[in-house]
Structure 1
Amino acid sequence: MSHSNKESLHFYKYLNQKIGSVEVVRARRLSFIFSDLACSEKETYIMTIGSRGEGLDVKGSDLDLMYISSLFVVYEPGKNDVKDQRLQFFMDIEDTSPCFTHLRLNTMFDNLSYFVQQMIQQHRGENFISSELYKSQLLKENIDFLSMLNNIHGPCLTDCSGKGDLAFCLKCDQWVTQAKSWISRPRSTWPPPGLISKITSYGVLFVPIGNKGSITEHLQWRISFSVAEKILIYSFSHTQLLCYALLKILVKEIIDKNQVVKGLLCSYFLKTLLFWISEETETSVWRPDNFIPCFMACLQRLIYCIEYSTLLHYFIPDNNLFYLRFNSKNQNTLINILKNSYQTGIQIFSASETIHDYRRFPCETTRSVCGNMTVMKTVMNQQDLYSPVSFMPTTNFIISCMLYTLLHHCKTELSRCILTLLISYEYQRIPLKLTHIDNPNNKQRYKIYKHNLSQLLVGVNSDAVSGWAILAFFFYCHKHYLKSKDIINYTLTKFTIESTLSKITLRHTQKLKRMSLSKTITNSNVLFAQNSLLSPAELNTDVMKYPIILQSLTFTHFIHFLCSYHLEDLESCIHCAKQLNAIVFDNQQLDHTKYAGELFVFDYILFGIVLQMLRVLGYGCDLLPSALFRQAADIDKFNITSAAFRLHHST
């Protein structure tokens, strides 16, 4: 093997460690596929898109979701199904640019619900659904699981922090005429005919955003090929996927440091570039030992596209994505940066945050095989990432779909393990998603108690601690304080067990079954839905506003304190306070610009509440509750929690 081949292989293995091995990527993808299933209903479907849905987890990878309603359907003129009971729209591409369309109503206006009527606007004497009114109406509706989404960002609704986008889409079940040429155009070997047939059978989506600058921008919808793009990315070899990831790192961590060109290149452009190169290249080229030349070829093509301001849409080439994208100043700056990167080679990444230590990474440790423990931790992290939509009501239909999938379609150990975990999570969260209902009938109350308890007992199989912590909280809510404390003491031992397991070598963890390992992992969170039937009374102010997410260890110590407080066990209360103090101290050592600071907000709030309650028992300490609430308020820049309110009322 030549020196260049050895360097490529070494770099490829290093990226497996930093970005994810084949198995880790597969675990990420399966986790999101099954999570999509869990959050989909009979009349809606949620799909994870973007880098996370594609199996990547690099800096800047936000959680992007598409919400597809089956109550609406789009047809091309002359192709509608008269028997279709859904609300029908026709594509109308008059006076629109490639990739955009108007959607003309094909249903009597008077037959529409008032909610939908507010989205309709007249144009050329006919009724069209407005993309702008569509988004604004969804915000006004304030659907429970959308309570955290309160801003419009392009075609999406997003939360205050902008870290998660949810696009509400309409669907056409057929492949549209504008993209017909994609099916039969000349290409090398990728994508193969079978994949093309699969992609076209899914049809296309329409996202609510118009062509910027158009006089009918507010009415237009963009044709989206997100489903097709996801399928194509899934067909990539691992070498292709890592090239895509490396381009993203180059843009986010090196190019965007220059303010003149920051934001000019986005992931969608890089994805489109990879599609074109893959279509023109033999699949045999994308080998691990040829990784660096493959990446440099991608970089060279990117320079070419920017020099000529030409990057054609992969499915509708009439749309030039780089048309009027650059001015002479930022174009020249961008070209110079990229040419310098090309000349420097992979050493350019010594200036990146993610892969700066490549040269110091020893060759003998670059193993592409990932241990089972790493895979399962990846799965657990994916579940926590999906939490913004995990508050959607769980129904028997969803559970049935998941069980059916587990029994009939899960062929691998990994897929069975992930879906089993997800089912456990759903059972764990069902009682936490229920809203308050008055039940004066004691018999009915007891029936609900037994039903919720049975679901929570299934939920303890999700991971090492969150299920047990919620079960302990369930008993606390029903004033079974001693029983709750017993469960908490058992739960806290799990954290010690995990620290012991972390010392087990890769060779040993490979032998352990994944499902067994999942029950030793403690880095999961506890989630409470808005106005949840089961939620800490001490956090009612927070739960009334938004769903909340708590770190499992913090929550466990907090419930332990509450039980001890009601049992008037001052010694145990003080012990719990010391444990929470240690957690808060550890948080203070972290850089919240790099970590999810909003997750730590409740650590400070819970500890502040504990100090307030200790004062009621006559025990005080040097640290004041107001100091904790002030720290929480500093992190909570969007005022999502009760931190500012508590600070005001504690001074």
Structure 2
Amino acid sequence: MAEGGIGPTGSGSEINLIHSGPSLSQASQQAVFVQNTGAGELLVMDQNENLSLEICSIMTKLGYGEVIRRRRVEKYKEFNRLITKGNDHFFLKTAGSKAEGLTCFLENDFDFLLVMKGAICVESGINIHTIPENIERFRMRTCVYPGYCTLIQEGTRVRNNCSEIIDPARCHNGFGYILLSSCLWVDNIKRGPLNWGITGKQHERARPSIPATFREIAHTDFVVGLSCQCPSILHKWAARPREWPHSNIVQKVVSLGAYVTPVGFKKSEYNHMEWRICFNTGEAELVNSLNDTQAKVYVILKLILKEIIKPNNKEITSYVLKNIILWQAEKNPQTKFHARSLFHWLNDGLKELKTAIENRKLDYYMMPERNLMEDCGLTDALQRTSWIADITEMMEEGPRVVLRLEKIRKAIVASPETMLWFSKNKVELEMLVLELFNRVMRCYNKFRNEGTQCYYGNWMMDWDVIMAIQRRIDELNRMVKQRMQLENSSSTQDIFVRILH
């Protein structure tokens, strides 16, 4: 594309870029640069709707369309099942943008939630004796700050696979109770237990997560938490009047339950003992139930956050944007979310983000009593003022804001034929890589669960498929490299890495 990617390279002003080999129609190109000269609100609205249609099309070619989203989600769900099947200690839950199918393989970090198999926590009112005796049981005690709790041990200690994690995190509170410390939990994990089949270079802890890097290209965040039974919270969420999500999705989210992760409220005196209640798998289902336009608005907002707002210390995160999108979906008729309305909803999302920053207030979608902006560290008044001014400027720009986003700008500049060719090969390469990972895990599980004799009996068939996938991956890499050389596009970065970003 353009600017060192696949396709023609442009330079100079934005107008020169747009006319150097556009993918957009001539009318839509002009709409990007239309100024409010009194030509009429209806004309501008029509131009914005046409541009919305074409930006939606470009977003699909960039790998954010509905079909590829669904395929990614299924591949990661299969990966979760295979990893979980081969591990005695935890269930693996892919989280974040990967679980939502909204990023290419190497585009963002991999977020993984590891849920301990031998322990559970429950809210007040649940009969603890309904839980098997070989499971460690903890009672949730809610904190002053909504969405957080402490965990009190119920019953006698249980010796199981979780003991090496749980034992060092137990603390006596001086009143006869044993509490589970979130701080000691993460420190203990950092010292070693994540080596249960997880390799890679580990980094310093980042609150609840243990970051790691694999082969210098894949960045991961591991969080080890516990399953949580809190039906009162989920039923309260489910009882809200709404058009979206559909009732079957609501029931599925309720059935998926919740988790607690080892992080306390920053301002709390006892944050080292506190745990945060979260709904990772349920939220992934909600995002997966968004329609094509809603998902693309979410992606563009995330690109704006990353490339324009650029928070240095995660004062604003993509999680804030996700909640804005979920509230947007629940509060508005679904018939209003269509390809022609993309820029309308993008502007609405920016307005909600601006309000959240101004007021330092955004209700958590699953628990509205929790304010997501209260614990985000957004205390610098000058920084807040700067971001508010930036967002106001973007809202006034209208559709032109997409030209600030490198990936979309490159796609606009690229020739349509080149863009389609690259998109096709990128999608195929990503699906092959995900399938390769799952095939290798299936082979590993066969060896682990069925024994050496059975494993080698099926080895040649599995190996042939794996090698066929690898050969096709190598072939695609060569094809893209040759195309780049023909179009005089130079780069020192690995072709595989560049394609899958």
Q: TM-score range by the shorter chain?
A: 0.7 to 0.9
Are residues 359 and 183 of structure 1, via their aligned partners in 2, closer, same or farther at CA, if it must alter by over 3 Å? same
Whether 2:428 is the aligned partner of 1:376: answer yes
Take 2:421 and 2:340, find their aligned partners in 1: how far apart are those partners? 13
Shift of 1:426: 3.2
Residue 165 (structure 1) shift: 0.8
1:112-166 C-alpha deviation (Å, 9 max, x unpaired): 8465322101125210111111122223344332343454222122225792011
Q: Which residue of 2 aligns with 1:82?
A: 129
How far apart in 2 are the matches of 1:70 and 1:450?
28
Q: Deviations over 1:69-123 (max 9, x none)?
A: 2311111123134142211000011x43100000100022486846532210112
Which residue does the alignment assign to 2:171? 121
| Correspondence 1:31-110 to 2 at 5 A | 31-41=75-85, 44-57=90-103, 61-84=108-131, 85=133, 86-93=135-142, 95-109=143-157
Higher relative contact order (CA 8 A, sep 6+): 2
Q: Unaligned 5+ residue runs, structure 2? A: 1-44, 484-489
Structure 1 spans left out of the alignment, 5+ residues: 387-421, 435-446, 467-490, 505-587, 600-651
CA contact (8 A) 2:362 2:372 kept: yes
1:337-416 to 2 correspondence within 5 Å?
Answer: 337-357=390-410, 359-360=412-413, 371=424, 374-382=426-434
How far does residue 348 in structure 1 lie from its aligned partner after superposition? 2.3
Q: Which has the larger displacement, 138-147 or 238-247? A: 138-147
1:53 maps to a residue whose letter is A
Q: Which amino acid aligns with 2:76?
A: F
The corresponding residue for 1:183 is 238
For residue 432 of structure 2, what is the amino acid of its counterpart? M
What CA distance in whole angstroms lies between the structure 1 residues aligned with 2:469 and 2:254? 44
Superposition map of 1:40-439 within 5 A: 40-41=84-85, 44-57=90-103, 61-84=108-131, 85=133, 86-93=135-142, 95-109=143-157, 113=163, 116-125=166-175, 126-142=177-193, 143-148=195-200, 149=202, 151-159=204-212, 163-175=219-231, 177-178=232-233, 180-187=235-242, 189-256=243-310, 263-323=314-374, 325-357=378-410, 359-360=412-413, 371=424, 374-382=426-434, 422=438, 424-429=439-444
**Structure 2 counterpart of 1:203, which letter?**
G
Q: 1 CA distance for matches of 2:410 and 2:164?
A: 58
Q: Does the C-alpha gap of structure 1 residues 299 and 451 become closer, same or farther in structure 2, counting only changes over 3 Å?
A: closer
Q: Check the 8 A contact 1:56/1:245 in 2, yes or no.
A: yes
Could you say if the C-alpha distance between residues 268 and 500 of structure 1 is closer, same or farther in structure 2, counting changes exceeding 3 Å? closer
Name the CA shift for 1:118/1:501 in 2 (closer, same or farther; >3 Å): closer
Q: Give the conservation status (yes or no) of the 8 Å contact 1:244–1:274.
A: yes
Q: Find the aligned partners of 1:210 and 1:16 in 2 and give their Cα distance.
A: 39
Partner residue in 1 for 2:468: 464
CA separation in 1, counterparts of 2:180 and 2:473? 54
Instruction: Tell me if the contact between 2:116 and 2:226 (Cα under 8 Å) persists in the aligned partners.
Output: yes
Q: Is the 8 A contact 1:134 1:208 kept in 2?
A: yes
Going from structure 1 to structure 2, the CA distance change for 1:69 and 1:362 (only over 3 Å counts) comes to: same
1 CA distance for matches of 2:337 and 2:343?
A: 10
Q: Distance in 2 between matches of 1:241 and 1:368?
A: 24
Change (3 A) 1:590 1:456: farther
Deviation at 1:318, TM superposition (A): 1.5
Q: Tell me which of 452, 456, 460 is aligned to 2:456.
A: 452
Output the CA distance in 1 between the equivalents of 2:98 and 2:473.
Answer: 29
Following superposition, the deviation at residue 450 of structure 1 comes to 8.9
What is the TM-score when the length of structure 1 is the normalising length? 0.60
CA drift at 1:315: 1.5
Q: Is the 8 A contact 2:429 2:473 kept in 1?
A: no
- For each residue in 1:272-316, what CA deviation from the matched residue of structure 2 results, as whole angstroms up to 9, or x when unmatched? 111111111110111012211121111122112222221111121
For residues 367 and 358 of structure 1, do their structure 2 counterparts lie closer, same or farther at Cα, with a shift above 3 Å needed?
Answer: closer
**Does structure 1 conserve the Cα–Cα contact (< 8 Å) formed by 2:63 and 2:427?**
no
Larger radius of gyration: 1
Quote how far apart the aligned CAs of 1:358 are.
5.0
Report SS of the residue matched to 1:158: strand
Letter in 1 for 2:260: F
* CA gap 1:495/1:299 in 2 versus in 1, 3 angstroms: closer
Residue 231 of structure 1 deviates from its aligned partner by: 0.8
Percent identical: 19
Q: 1:124 to 1:100 in 2, by over 3 A?
A: farther
Q: Is the 8 A contact 2:112 2:222 kept in 1?
A: yes
Q: Decide whether aligned partners of structure 1 residues 454 and 194 sit closer, same or farther in structure 2, where only a CA change above 3 A counts.
A: closer
Classify the secondary structure of the residue corresponding to 1:12. Answer: helix
CA RMSD of aligned residues (A): 3.6
Q: CA 1:100 to 1:427, structure 2 compared with 1: closer, same or farther past 3 Å?
A: closer
Contact 1:32 1:53 in 2 (8 A): yes
CA contact (8 A) 1:73 1:171 kept: yes
Q: Is the 8 A contact 2:84 2:91 kept in 1?
A: yes
The whole-number CA distance in structure 2 between the counterparts of 1:117 and 1:3 is: 63
- Within 5 Å, give how 1:478-489 maps onto structure 2: none
Using the alignment, how far apart are the partners of 2:315 and 2:168 within structure 1?
35
Change (3 A) 1:368 1:237: farther
1:449-470 Cα shifts (integer Å, max 9, x gaps): 895374244222135264xxxx
> For this pair of structures, how many residues does the alignment match?
432
- Residues 280/138 of structure 1: CA separation in 2 closer, same or farther (3 Å cut): same
Q: How far did 1:266 drift?
A: 0.6
* C-alpha distance in structure 2 between counterparts of 1:450 and 1:299, whole Å: 57
Where does 1:632-643 land on structure 2 (aligned, <5 Å)? Answer: none
Alignment match, 1:401: none
Question: Where in structure 2 are the equivalents of 1:531-542 lying within 5 Å?
Answer: none
Residue matched to 2:68:
24
State the match for 1:642 in structure 2.
none
Deviation of 1:425 (Å): 2.7
Aligned AA (2:327): W
